[in-house]
Amino acid sequence: MAAIFRKWTVGSVLKSAEKHRLLWFGLTFSTHENPLGIPNAGTPGQDNHRQRLMERGLPKKLPIAGVNQVIVVASGKGGVGKSTTAVNLALAIAANDKSKSVGLLDADVYGPSIPRMMNLAGEPELNKQNLMKPLVNFGISCMSMGFLVDEKSPLVWRGLMVMSAVQKLLRQVAWGPLDYLVVDMPPGTGDTQLSISQNIPIDGAVIVSTPQDIALLDARKGAEMFRKVDVPVLGLVQNMSVFQCPKCGHQTHIFGQDGAKKVAEEMELQVIGDVPLHISIRETSDSGQPVTVSQPDSLQAQAYRSLAKEVVARLPPYKDPLPERKQ
C-alpha cells in the first residue's frame, strides 16, 4: 500500500509539474540540440512572445571602452598551444603594422599564462578614474588575473566569481586607445566563453588545434559554439603541425598530417595558420621572450606573422559604435 501511495504521489507531482510547465512556457521536452525545449514551429504570436522572453534574459553587448576590434583565440581543449599562439599573434600584428596599437587580455582565470610569456609581474596601478592600467612589454598592453594573485596560489572559485573577475578585466581596465585586443580564452566551451561572447562584440574568433584527431574533435565544438552565439570564426590554426629534426632535417608529423585541413573543409572554414613544432617556440615562451620578438627572422616567427596577416585581412571593417553627431 505504501509503495502504491508513493507511486501515485510521485506520478501526480510529475504530471502536475509537466502540466504547469507547458501551460506557462509552452515548451516541449528538452534535447541536447535544444536544451531549453523550445519548439521549432508555432504561431507567429507565440514565436514572437518566446523570442522576447529569450532576449529579455540576454545581456546587451557593449563595446570595451577605447578598443576598436576584439579577436578571441580559443581551443576546444588545453595543451594545444593556444596561449602561445595568442601571445605571438598579438606581437605579430604589432610587428606587421607598427602604427597599430595592440592589447592582450588573459581571460583564463584559473590558469593564466600571459604574465610568464610576456615577462611581466606586479600589481597594476590605478588611474584617476580608478581603472587598472595594463602592464606593457614589447609594446603590448597586457592584463591578466596572474597580475592580481600569486603565481603559485590556485584560484578555487565558483562560476559566479569567475564571471565577476572576467567582467572586471573587461570593464575596469584602461584599455584604450587600442586598434586590436587579442583575448586568450580558457580552453573548452564553458561559462567564460559564453559570458564574453554575450557581453562584448567580438569581431572574429581564431580556433587553435593540433592535427591530432582527439584535439580536432574539441576544436570543432569550439568553432560551433562561436557560430551559435553569432561570432564569426576567422579560421583554424594548425599548431605543432610538423617536427623537423635539428640534426638531420627529417620531418615527422608527430600529431598527424593535415588533420585541421580536413576538419576546416568539412566546416567550410580555412586553415589560416600552420605553425611547426619547434623547441625555440617553447624555450622563448618559457623565458618570457616570445619567438616573434626574440627571433624575428626565424621560420617560426614568419609563421606567426603570416597568421597575423590572415587574421587582420579577415576582420570586418571597423565601425565606430558612437559616431560623432553632425552639428
Name the pTM for this structure.
Answer: 0.79
- Determine how many CB atoms are found less than 10 A away from the CB of residue 305: 19
Q: Which residue has the higher pLDDT, 34 or 98?
A: 98
- Determine how many CB atoms are found less than 10 A away from the CB of residue 95: 20
Give 242's pLDDT tier (boundaries 50, 70, 90): confident
Tens digit of each residue's pLDDT (9 = 90 or more) over 262-319:
788 888 889 999 999 989 999 999 999 999 999 999 999 999 999 999 999 999 998 8
Q: Which residue has the higher pLDDT, 247 or 208?
A: 208
Write the single-letter amino acid at 102.
V
- Determine how many CB atoms are found less than 10 A away from the CB of residue 221: 14
Tens digit of each residue's pLDDT (9 = 90 or more) over 126-174:
999 999 999 999 999 999 999 988 777 777 777 788 888 889 999 999 9
H helices of 37-150, where?
44-56, 82-96, 114-117
